[in-house]
Structure 1
Amino acid sequence: MNGLQRAALALTIIGAVNWGLIALFQFDLVAAIFGGGEQSAALARIIYGLVGISGLVLIPLLFKTDEAFSKQREPERVDG
């Protein structure tokens, strides 16, 4: 997993937690932090947009095989 995918995963997790808070407690954390005034509301929309883009960036991970993940994590061994 490269740096862009890791950043996208972090933002996607933030979005998932936010949706969980909305569902369970009707509390929008992003809006509470960034939605105070007119400029802050624009910042909240930017955060929502970044979370949405992050979801799109992570779509290819759905189609990676387990072998592709294990090859990324384990360096090749050279017997000698």
Structure 2
Amino acid sequence: MNIIDRIALALTVIGGVNWGLVGIFRFDLVAWICGGQTSMVARIIYTLVGISALWCLALLFRDWDGERDMPQSAHSH
């Protein structure tokens, strides 16, 4: 997993937590931090989260080389 994969995954998790807060408490944390859903900063964050989700969707179909992504300790077995 490269750095872009990790950033995309982190942003997707942040988006998921935000949607959870919206669904359960009707509280949009991103909008609250950024000054509303229509603020430019909030829109940029929403866009980055959406792009990250698409990137992570591609991770599901990636042909993984199991040896390369395993921690060193797992190679000794």
The bucket for the TM-score relative to the shorter chain is 0.7 to 0.9
Aligned partner of residue 27 in structure 2, secondary structure: coil
Letter in 2 for 1:58: C
Q: CA RMSD in A?
A: 2.0
Distance across 2 between alignment mates of 1:29 and 1:74: 35
Task: State the TM-score, normalizing by the size of structure 2.
Answer: 0.80
Aligned twin of 1:70: 66
Structure 2 gaps, min length 5 = none
Q: Provide Cα deviations, 1:48-67, integer angstroms capped at 9, x if missing partner.
A: 000000011112211246xx
Aligned twin of 2:20: 20
Aligned partner of residue 5 in structure 2, secondary structure: helix
User: Matched residues, percent identical?
Assistant: 54
Letter in 1 for 2:21: L
Distance across 1 between alignment mates of 2:34 and 2:71: 41
> Shift of the alpha carbon at 1:35?
2.0
> Shift of the alpha carbon at 1:74?
4.6
The alpha-carbon distance between structure 1 residues 32 and 60, as it changes in their structure 2 partners (threshold 3 A), is same
1:28-67 equivalences under 5 Å are 28-36=28-36, 41-64=39-62
> Shift of the alpha carbon at 1:69?
5.7
Task: State the TM-score, normalizing by the size of structure 1.
Answer: 0.77
